[in-house]
Amino acid sequence: MIEALRWVGDRDGHVSMIDQTRLPDVLIDLEITNPDDMIAAIRRLSVRGAPAIGVAAAYGACLATRGLTDAVEVRAALDRELPKIRDSRPTAVNLHHMVDRMRRLIDASDLTGCELRDRLLQEACSIQAEDRELCLMIGRAGAALVKDGGRVLTHCNAGALATGGQGTALSVFYAAKDAGRRFEVVADETRPLLQGARLTAWELQKAEIPVTVICDNAAGHLFARGEIDLVVTGADRVASNGDAANKIGTYTVACLAQLHNVPFYIAAPSTTFDFSLATGAEIPIEERSGDEVWRVSGSGPIPDGVKVRNPAFDVTPASMVKGWITEKGIIQPPFAEIRPEATR
Ligand code: MRU
């Protein structure tokens, strides 16, 4: 089983994570020992995917207090570092939810420095263990959607590399395979950083699930020829009405799916839902460096001085989503099954 990241050792330990920027060429672990390096790893996408960066953020809080024993110093370090970790990426809400969860723990306790640090580590490990369980439940909830002989398209990477467990969208495929179904996955390459070509293809090949990578702009052709019968993607944030932000290009796929009457599903745990937002229009969309747009082809094919934009996510309207595959089954807005009491 692929593990995107894990804590090594006791409260003075560190995080070991796969450097996803190097896959599939090199499988190498980064050893992260301080919050600045964790923030840098999140920003450059060494660790990525909404649930995985939530777990990384929780471990980042533990790294912030490394070596400290005095409760006042522990709290001061957390006051200083947690806001920086929270701001490391804007779109995936898991990151914010998990930093806030660590914050609540600190605010509610009057423990000594070392006791508090042990509690923080315990909480961060629980966040990862819970995510592992959520992934399995999502897989079980969605497996029946994948039919024998089916051709399923996915965008970006919503697998083990993107979570604390075996993934969200990819967990559905793993569960379908375990149920004995034979099917093929079509993975959009996912420009500009190629999470589909590099990461999804790598994961599925390892799992012995047949996978074909296509250029993002080949998807329409396959839909038009009737070669796709299901779409499942992950999400970075789902608003109260079901609008879902996911990797740039997901909305384009949803439009194609709607036009060709192909069911489009979002697979995401409750930790990816943001009930403080009414619609997807309120979801902050990360804009990344324009360098990423041309870097993939080596020297720039774009004439010097030409403006480049690189929005990293887009929002698929709820009306285009057939169902939201969660740990509570395939659900519909207003998501009473997973909505916290206070917002019901
Ligand atoms: O920029 P990334 O690679 O972090 O974007 C990741 C995605 O868009 C995933 O589809 C999403 O986080 C779901 S991960 C289970």
CATH of the domain at 291: 3.40.50.10470
Could you identify the atom of ligand 1 that is nearest to the CA of residue 163? 15
Burial environment of residue 98 by CB neighbours within 10 A (0 to 12, 13 to 18, 19 or more): buried
The sign one gets for the Cα dihedral 85, 88, 90, 95 is negative
Residues in contact with 237: Cβ distance below 8 Å, sequence separation at least 6, in sequence order: 50, 91, 92, 93, 244, 245, 272, 273, 274, 277, 283
How large is the angle between the packed helices 71-86 and 93-107, nearest 10 degrees?
160
Q: What is the atom index within ligand 1 of the atom nearest the CA of 92?
A: 12
Instruction: Give yes or no: residues 325 and 296 share one domain.
Output: yes
What is the Cα–Cα distance from 139 to 169, expressed in whole angstroms? 8
Query: Comparing C-alpha atoms, which of 321, 216, 208, 306 is closest to residue 267?
Result: 321
* 203 and 326 together in one domain: yes
Please identify, among 136, 152, 176, the residue that sits at the C-terminal boundary of a domain: 136
Residues 159 and 41 in one domain: no
Count: domains in the chain:
2
Same domain, 128 and 145: no
Of the candidates 236, 243, 274, 314, the residue annotated as catalytic is 236
Helices (H), 194-312: 201-206, 219-224, 250-259, 291-295
Ligand 1 centre from 101 Cα, in Å?
21
Closest CA to ligand 1's atom 10: 234
Residues having CB within 6 Å of any atom of ligand 1: 45, 48-51, 92, 156, 158, 162-163, 168, 195, 234-236, 246-247, 312
Asked if 50 and 36 touch (Cβ cutoff 8 Å), the reply is no
Distance between CA atoms of 270 and 193, rounded to whole angstroms? 27
Atom of ligand 1 nearest to the CA of 169: 15
Collapsed DSSP state (helix, strand, coil) of residue 164: coil
Ligand 1 centroid vs 232 CA: distance in angstroms?
13
120 and 172 assigned to the same domain: no
Q: Is 70 a catalytic residue?
A: no
List the chain residues with pLDDT less than 70.
296-300, 342, 344
pLDDT of residue 28: 98
- How far, in Å, is the centroid of ligand 1 from the Cα of 103? 24
CA of 333 to the centre of ligand 1 (A): 22
Whether 203 and 285 share a structural domain: yes
For residues 310 and 172, give the distance between their C-alpha atoms in angstroms, rounded to a whole number. 30
- Give yes or no for a contact between 119 and 109, defined as CB atoms under 8 angstroms apart: yes
CA 158 / ligand 1 centre spacing (Å) = 6
Burial class (CB in 10 A: 0-12, 13-18, 19+), 20: buried
Beta bridge partners of 315: 245
CA-nearest residue for atom 8, ligand 1, is 247
Same domain, 55 and 104: yes
Can you tell me which atom of ligand 1 is nearest the CA of 168? 15
Residue finishing a domain among 116, 136, 156:
136
Report the atom number in ligand 1 closest to the C-alpha of 233: 10
Q: How many alpha carbons lie under 13 Å from residue 219 in its C-beta half-sphere?
A: 29
Q: Where are the alpha helices (DSSP H) in the chain?
A: 35-43, 50-64, 71-86, 93-107, 113-142, 169-178, 201-206, 219-224, 250-259, 291-295
CATH of the domain at 12: 1.20.120.420
Our mutation pick for probing the ligand 1 site, out of 23, 93, 195, 238, counting the most ligand atoms within 8 A of Cβ, is 195
Between the CA of 336 and the centroid of ligand 1 the distance, in Å, is 25
> Which residues constitute the domain of residue 167?
139-343
- Tell me which residue of 287, 197, 273, 290 sits closest to 235, measured CA to CA: 273
**121 and 151 share a domain?**
no
The whole-model pTM stands at 0.97
